[in-house]
Every structure is written in C-alpha cells, then in structure tokens.
Structure 1
Amino acid sequence: MNAALQTSTVLPPGMHPDEWAARLELAACYRVFAMLGWTEMIYNHITLRLPDSVTRGQKQFLINPFGLHYSEVTASNLVKIDLEGHVLDGSAHRVNPAGFVVHAAIHDGIEGAHCVMHTHTTAGVSVACLKDGLQQTNFYTAQLHGMVAYHDFEGITIHADEGPRLLQSIGDRPAVILRNHGLLAWGSTLPQTFAILWTLQRACEIQLATFSMGGPQAALPVPEAIAAKCTRDALQFNPNHGAGRDVFDALVRQVDRIDSSYRS
C-alpha cells in the first residue's frame, strides 16, 4: 500500500484500517483509469478482494457504485459485496450484475486473483475483434509471451453459467482478451494487475497503429524465442521487483495533483 495514501487520510470510525487502505488504493485506481481515458461512461469494473484480516477468510470484494463515472468514485462510496454480488455494507448504491459475474468467477476460481480489471478501450476492443487477435509484432506483445488467454464472446456477461467456460479459457494466464468484447487482467495485487493490463493495452495500441500503416502483412514479427526472452527479462510483473508498485504510485501522485477527492 502506498505510504502516502496511508498517512494522508483519516480512518473512518469503526472501519478496519486494512479495509480503508484497500478502499483508498482502489479508489485511486479508478481515478488513474479516468486520467488515462480507460472509461466507458458508467460501465466496466475494477474489483479488489478484501484481505482476510478484514473478512476473517470470507471472500468479500470492493466494486464501483453503478451509475457513477470513474472520476466520481471515492474510498467511501465503493461498495462491499460477496461472491453473489450482495451488498454487505449497507450502501445505497447499486452494483451492475453484468460486471461482477465475470469478476466473481475469476476471484473464486483462480487462486491468487485478488484484483480483476476490465476495459472497453478502442484499441482493446479492436484487437479483440480481430480473427488472429494480438500478434507478436511489438515491444509490448513480446513482454506477454505465454501470458495471453482468449475467451469467445457469449453475449452480455450476466449469466453465471459462463463462469466455468471462462475459467477454462483463462487457465493460469493473467492477460485476457475477451473476443469481440474487450480486455481483462487479474493479479495478486492491484499494482501487479495494473501493470499487466497497461502492457496489454499498450500492445493493442501499437498493433492498431501498425496495422493502420499496411495491415498485418506489413508488420515485422518478433521471433518466438526473442519474445520468450523478453518476457523472462521483463521484471515489471515480478513481486520481487515491485510488481508494478512504482509505476502505479507515480500515477497516483499525478492524480493527487489533479484531484484528490477520491480519498474522501
């Protein structure tokens, strides 16, 4: 947890400090997404599992209030829910069922999936609509060798029976392209998940720009052996090297200079 986030806010009465720390980090992340333009009106989600110190081992999560733009999310208006999407903290805000069905399946079915992020960015959806998906043609795809999974489009994600098929599609790969739909990432921490999604998003942006200059046939492929080496050499997802913490904290500082109201 960012030390600046911990020391610059007042703990609400009766709230476990670990829950407040999680709320601050997740609210900051929503503002980072807004700053980067990774928003889709009031839709999409970032979910974070609360630590066992708060839940005593039960699976409980924080999610954005449905109806608010990411720029309106704050630590206090995040909604605490269970795996079925039931509100646990008495919040008056709604939760979008079309969002948490996918997130619940991943949180429950993948060991260590404590954070899940989903976007509908133009570059992400565009690549998700390509028959061949993300191709090994740039610096960022080369850092995701063996990390990308694909799941076929089944419509709006409101049906729980899709969960097992989604988990089978993902396996243990943390960067997910939902075909015809968008991008998704999961990880053991919020910063690690952000680093994975940022790399996937950047790979899609570069591919979109590259293909615009001559299509996939004009792209210079990265050999599989080189891509595998790049992924081994990339330390940004590795917990022993911060797993995205430095990058995420730098973006939070930028958000703070623009609008720190997410801390309320």
Structure 2
Amino acid sequence: MSLKGKVSDAEWQARVDLAACYRLVADMGWGDLIYTHISAKVPDTDFYLVNAFGLTFEEVTASNLVKVNLQGEIQSDSPYQINPAGFTIHSAIHEARRDARCIVHLHTKATITVASLKGGLQPWSQYSMFSLPSLCYHDYEGLAVNDDERSRLQQNLGDTNHMLLPNHGGLTLGPTVGDAFMRFYDLQRACEIQVELMNSGREVIPIPQDIVDNIYAQASVVHSGQTGGQKAWPAMLRKAWRLDPGFCE
C-alpha cells in the first residue's frame, strides 16, 4: 500500500530518494543479497528510514522503507522488520553526526579488498582524490552487534565523510542521499582502479599530495559551487525512473 499522501511531503521525498538509491546500488552491482544498508533521516524529525530485512535492493520502494528511531525501534505501522545488527553502525553515525542525513554502507569486493590492504587507499587515480582528504578507517570487530563498538566507530569517523572498514567494506555519508551516493561512487571507482593497477604488476604513477589537498577547491569550480551529489542526483533519479518506476510506489 502506497504511503504517498499519508506522510508529509518532506518524508515522501526522502523515501523516494532513498528507494531510488537502493535501486541504483542494485543496478551498479554493489548489493549483497538482503544484507547491507542505506539509511536516510526523515526531515525535521529524529527518525530514520532503512530497508526492510528480507527484501532485495530491487524490491525496495518508497512505501516499504521502515521508519525507526536511533535505537532501531520501528515507529510506523509496517509489516516489515529491520536487521537490528545492521542498523548499529548507522545509528552510531547518525547520533554523532547530525549532518549525516544519509549513510551508505556496502560490502563491495573492491572496497573490502582495498580496505584490507596495508596502506589502504592510495592516490593512484582522480577518483581517489575525492575520498582521500576526508577518509578514515575502522578496524574489524565482528558483526557490529557490540554496543561498545559504537563509541570507537564514532571516534574513528570524526568529521570525515568516507570510511573504509578492513575485512568488511566501505561507507560514505552526506547531507543528502545524492551526496552519500556520489561519494560512494567515487570511493568504489577509486578502489576498483587501485585493484586493477595492482593486478597489472606495473609501477604506478602516484598523484602528488598537493594536488590531493586542493581537489575540493577544484571540484567546487566543476560543480558550480554545488556538491557533487546535488549536481548529479537529478540525473541519477531519472536513471532510476528508467530502470523501474515502481521504486516510487
């Protein structure tokens, strides 16, 4: 049953954006069956939207997203449950970072590989430059079911927007769904390229640190002062519509 007209306009738009993000992640091949999560804050509330446990990303719609509080307690009349362990990471970050209105956490092969290498992400491509100035790491502690891990996760994250989790995957956050999605896109591409370069067995030409440090100022010019997510997200929404307009139900 559609929730359109039964929730605020702001919540409905958040649901549409988040459902579109799930569909785009599935189309990119970044999904992990029914596992991993993308969460988004309901505007002007302390509630969050996350996928129903048991649905693939291709099945996520604006209406079947589940509304929860920071404890993962369901706040709406929904036939679905969530994976409480899966929401631990998201709730810890949403609690510490009020600017993090969307969090993308995925288990892609490329991010797991690079995160698990000594030295982590290297300045070997233009994509890596978007992540490196705001990148952190959080060591693997198991399936994220220990409440004690929350404080360490928050401390390691600090004010960064990209995280690599050794043996686990990658994570990005942003003030909008579009920003979090595009940040993960850049991180994923950077990791894919690094793996390809390592597999080549050839010597790599690194990007000088001063260029890495100045990339944000250059990106601001390219995006006309907007963030990458704000600039690209309308096009990504159009792609989601072309893939399957059912995400908006």
- Determine the structure 1 residue equivalent to 2:20: 28
* Number of aligned residue pairs: 248
Tell me the equivalent position of 2:150: 163
Within 5 Å, which residues of 2 pair with 1:166-185?
166-185=153-172
Is the 8 Å Cα contact of residues 223 and 231 (structure 2) preserved in structure 1?
no
CA distance in 1, matches of 2:8, 2:56: 26
Cα distance, 1:254 vs structure 2: 1.8
Distance 1:237 1:176 in 2: 24
CA distance in 1 between counterparts of 2:179 and 2:224 reads 8
Q: Indicate yes or no: 2:62 matched with 1:70.
A: no
Matched, 1:136 2:123: yes
Distance change >3 Å, CA 14–CA 105, structure 1 → 2: same
The alpha carbon displacement at 1:124 in A equals: 0.9
Confirm or deny: 8 A CA contact 1:47 1:62 kept in the other structure. Answer: yes
Counterpart-to-counterpart distance in 1, 2:222 and 2:182: 6
Unaligned stretches of 5+ in structure 1?
1-9
237 and 182 in structure 1: CA distance in 2 versus 1, 3 angstrom threshold:
farther
Match of 1:225 in 2: 210
Residue number in structure 2 paired with 1:209: 196
Could you tell me which residue of structure 2 aligns to residue 88 of structure 1?
75
Distance 1:26 1:18 in 2: 12
After the TM superposition, which parts of structure 1 deviate over 4 Å for at least 4 consecutive aligned residues?
236-239
8 Å CA contact 1:145, 1:231 repeated in 2:
no
If the length of structure 1 is used for normalisation, what is the TM-score?
0.89
TM-score by length of 2: 0.94
Residues 196, 238 of structure 1: alpha-carbon distance in 2 compared, 3 angstrom cutoff = farther
Q: Is the CA contact 2:179–2:229 (under 8 Å) kept in the aligned structure 1? A: yes
Q: Percent identity among equivalent residues?
A: 40
1:39 has 2:31 as partner: yes
* Structure 2 unmatched ranges of 5 or more: none
Residues 1:230 and 1:252: Cα distance change in structure 2 (over 3 Å): same
**C-alpha contact 2:47 2:70 (8 A) present in aligned 1:** yes
Q: For residue 204 of structure 1, report the CA deviation from its aligned partner.
A: 0.4
The amino acid that maps onto 1:221 is P
Q: Is the 8 A contact 2:31 2:108 kept in 1?
A: yes
Alpha-carbon distance in 1 for matches of 2:118, 2:37 = 26
Instruction: Give the corresponding residue for 1:5.
Output: none
